[in-house]
Each structure stands twice: as structure tokens, then as C-alpha cells.
Chains A and B, each alone.
Chain A
């Protein structure tokens, strides 16, 4: 906000100076935070090592520039022999950080898109039912149709789309309002959560139920390269489209009338951008479960710091999402010593109060 003003005034008539020093600084800090949290995550655990050792193993050129290793990680090829420490770091702990990065970035971007498309500050994949719909689809796949596991993001996207359309259908009354969208979201969420819980009774053994419960709260526990392989492509596609669509989102924020006057086919653009947001959320949900509050809160944090221009906001979310997700996961994994918590518990515990603070500070929040 004010930071934007104090940024160096760009030359008269120069192309838009949206890459402000605030934004660059914000992204740098986020990136550093991601790396630090990632190193902490890698070094501690049952097989402990010093931070320096962790750093050296993670940034080990023998691994980083070894195509065979990456072939194994990303394309499920044969993994070459590695030392114990390398195996622990690269096979167990690094992929968890990578999944955290993917989930953090996609959830943040998804929330940011939904907030612009619905012009509602309270919108997020969770509020609009996308999370619970996608969650139900994923859970059904895991519990009942386990053969479809490689297509999890697609299945999640279908569930999310169905729920989103339901929410819109319920909220529609010659247009929607923030309040009606939120209420319709509550209804659809309730239905899908009941369905999720109903599924537990079809689970064969208790292990599956426990995984499922951890998963419905959002958890990165036990995620490996196979999860990275599942989520990375849809995540990249969604991120590319989200960044490219930033200008469209800015025009949408001018209001429906103005966007139309400027020649935008508003309904179509809204629909396509919603699809991008659903895909992004689904990529995260299919590997990390339903991480509460994340998609709602992160765009607000970024907006408060870098401003509400979506070109800035998207980039900010792309960096802040991973930083916050990886940091929260460090807390989830290491805070209680032995036992691991689902990361969704941490984000919920931190995100709730932060959102409350925002609500108190901003009188017009969500225009409710």
C-alpha cells in the first residue's frame, strides 16, 4: 500500500513499474525462509545431522547434477546407490519439502484467483467447497478405487469442479453475493464432509482410516517423490496460467461492467480462471490433503505487504505460499518431538487468529 508509493517513481511513460523493490524484497525473504525451513526440516529427525551437513547434502553437486538421480525422482526410474545420509535426505526428507513447496504455491494461487473471480475477500478453495469436493473424490479413490491413484489430481479436480458448480448453483439468484457464496459453501462443505466421514466405514483396515483422517486435516507426513510426480505437472500448468492471467484478474477487479466495456467476455474469463484455480487446488489436495485456512490467509498476507495488483500478488503468492507451508510443516513435524502433527493443524491454529486480526483491522472485510 504505502510501500508501493515510496517505491522509485518510474520514468514518464515507461512500461509499468510493477516489479517494485517491495515485491522483490518480499520474494527474496520468502525464498530464503523456504530454504532455511527446508534445511531445518532435512537435518532434524530420527536420523539427525548438523545443519551444515544437511546443507552440504542438499546442495551436493554429485546429486544435484546427476541426471540418473533426477530420472529416478521425477520419472520413477532406477535409483542409483547412495550413502545412508544421502538416502535419508534425498529420498525421505527433501521430497516432503518439495511437496510442501508445490502445495503452498498452488493453494495460495488458487485462493488469490478465487478472491478475484468472485470479488470476495472471503473466498478460498475451502470456502467455495472446492477443497471438500476434491477431498471427497480423493478419499473415495484412496479407499474404494485405489487403482486410479496416478490420476489423483484429475479426480480431485473433477470433485472440486462439481462442488464449485454446486456452490454457484445454490448461491445464484440473478448473480451472486459474497454472503450467499459463503453460505452456499458452508452447505456444500457440510454435505461433502459427511460423505467423507461416511467413506471411513468402507475402509478395510484401521491404517487406511488413520491415513485418511490425517489426510483430511492436511498432512505432508510420508510424502515422497511419487507425490511430487503426481502433483508437479498440474501445478506447473496452473501456475503458468495463473501468472499469465494476472492482467485479466486485474481487469475483473475493475468490476463486471467495466470489464465488459473493455471487451472482456466476463463469464468466459471467470469460468476459465476458476478452472485454473480448481486445478491448482486439486494439485495440492491430491498430495497434501485439505490444509485449512491456507488458501484464504496467504493472499491476504501478500496483499497487505505487496499491494493488490494481481501481477504482484500472484508472484508474491508463488513465493510466500511455499515459505509458509514449509515453515508450518517444520512445526508440524518437529514441534512435538516424537509425534508428528498434520500440517493442517498448524496452519489452522496460526491462520485462524491471523484472519481474526485482519477482520478486526479491516472494517469492510468481505463487505459482509
Chain B
């Protein structure tokens, strides 16, 4: 529905993506983005153009401190860029009403405060916040969205459990149920699988994939593990020291060169046909 409002510059994304690909509709476009922390003047992220393709799962990868989380915060209007604009379906997010933005774009941050005594279901209902007015009570639509979210996140059986009693993985799924209840077209997730056991990592990723396939939700997710990202995502965005190193489908982006340049790791990359990464050694930290 929002595609007709697209930025005319969209064609440009083909330049970055490679010559053999058609133009891609982008849900989120960042242009001339320069980001820094309030405490320092130095730019943390500096990239001229970044696209999150519509209806696909895009993973942001890069070593610690490469600016992945900062970038995600700018894409969700949590930090104001020093320079540049972020467009959601062609509209600048800085000029959007905050509640209207929250109805279209959900963001789950990396660290969520530990809440003891709230139940999973209550948390999911908070996801309906942008859809409710100050004095509005719970509507049928709210109820349906929460039920769907609990079901999709697979925490239906935990709905009456308090967050304090859950394991880290279950907690993360409860938080994901909350952003799912928000019912947005675009979802940004900051390291949703870090610190989780393998089972819950896969549960989270499967939930995201299911959401993308069934409801055509655009997802951008920061992932710590590049091999996981390569297997899971439709597109990868590799960040190196706050700059866009490369982006495109995993089989194009993940190369031995990338691993050496960005991650300082010597590795063997095979395509059979999935991308497989065999790390070998950490490269010594040469001066750049």
C-alpha cells in the first residue's frame, strides 16, 4: 500500500547491490546518515545510503563496535542523526508523529529492563499502546492482535507466567510477542538471539521467518553470528567501523575477503549451495 510513496531514488539501490539484479523496493531508506553519541563529536556511523528491502529479512552484521545497534536506533528514531534522513515508505521518520511511527515500525532493543512481576500477556498488551488512545479500553482488534502475537511467538502457554520466573530465552520470546502485538509492517530487532541457548535462538529466528513469510513483514535484525546471519537472512548488510562495507544476498556478501577485512578473521567460505564459514585464525591487528 505504501509503495507508491516510494522515494524516486530507489533505482540507485541497484548500483550498490550489483549489476545483475533488478531494482528493489525499500521499506526503509537512510540517506547521508551521520550518527554520533551525545558524549563525543566523532561520528560513530557514517553511510551515504542504506536500504532495508521491503518484505525481506535483512541482517546487519559486523564486529563489536561497528555501529550496528546505533544504526538500528537511528532507523527507529531513537537517536536523532547529526546529518541525513531516514525514510519509511518514502516519509521522513523524524517528521512523523511518534505513535503513527510506532504503528508502522516496531523496534526491540538489545537490553530490556528486567521486570519482575508483569505477566507475559500483560506485556503483550503493552504492544497495543500505539493503537490505543489515552482513554481507550481494550478492543476486539487488540485482543486478536495479542492472541496472534502470543501464538506466533509460541508463548501462549506462558501467558500467565510472570517475567521474573522465565528463562532468558522465554523472556526474549515474551518481548518478541510484545513487538508482534504492535502489528507493524516493519520490525527492527537488535541482537534478539545473543545470550540465548541454541534452542531459543532457533525459536526466535523461526518466529521472525514465519512472520516474514506469512504476513510479509519487513525485518531488519542485528545478528552477532555471521554464519547464522548468512543462513537465515535474505540480505546482509556488513558494517565496518561505522561504514557500509557491502550489502546484498549472503552468497555475494560473505566472502573470505569480507571476513578478513571486517571481522579480522581468516576463514574458508564454501557454497554448497548454502554459505558455510569455517573460521581458521584471528588475524593479527595490523595498523590500518
Q: List chain A positions with a Cβ less than 8 A from chain B.
A: 1, 4-5, 9, 13, 15-16, 174, 244, 247-248, 250-251, 253-255, 257-258, 260-265, 307-309
Contacts and interface: CB of A to CB of B under 8 A. Distances in A.
B255 interface: no
B270 interface: no
Interface string B95-117: 00011111100111101110111
B137 interface: yes
A174 B40 CA distance: 13
A146 to B, nearest CB: 40
B135 interface: yes
B130 A15 contact: no
A253 B115 contact: yes
A13 B121 CA distance: 9
A251 B129 contact: yes
15 contacts: A1-B117, A4-B119, A4-B162, A9-B160, A16-B121, A248-B134, A254-B123, A255-B113, A258-B178, A263-B129, A263-B130, A265-B98, A307-B117, A308-B118, A309-B122
A251 B126 contact: yes
Interface of B: 38-39, 76, 78, 98-103, 106-109, 111-113, 115-119, 121-123, 125-127, 129-130, 134-135, 137-138, 143, 146-147, 160, 162, 178-179, 182
Given A16-B138, A244-B134, A251-B129, A261 B112 contact: no
A261 B107 contact: yes
Contacts of A250: 118, 122, 126
A18 B245 CA distance: 50
B126 A309 contact: no
Contacts of A309: 117-118, 122
A245 B286 CA distance: 56
A260 B38 contact: no
A23 to B, nearest CB: 13
Contacts of A308: 116-118
A258 B98 contact: no
Contact of B108 (A4, A9, A261, A264): A261
Contact of A15 (B102, B113, B143): B143
A258 B123 CA distance: 11
A80 B72 CA distance: 70
Contacts of B127: 262
A261 B115 CA distance: 17
A172 to B, nearest CB: 13
A227 to B, nearest CB: 32
Contacts of B101: 263
B79 to A, nearest CB: 10
B154 to A, nearest CB: 16
B122 A254 contact: no
Across the A-B interface, give the 7 residue pairs with the lowest CB-CB distance, nearest first.
Answer: A263-B102, A263-B130, A263-B99, A255-B113, A262-B129, A261-B107, A257-B109
A212 B147 CA distance: 58
B143 A13 contact: yes
Contacts of A174: 38-39
A308 B162 CA distance: 12
A244 B98 CA distance: 21
A255 B130 CA distance: 16
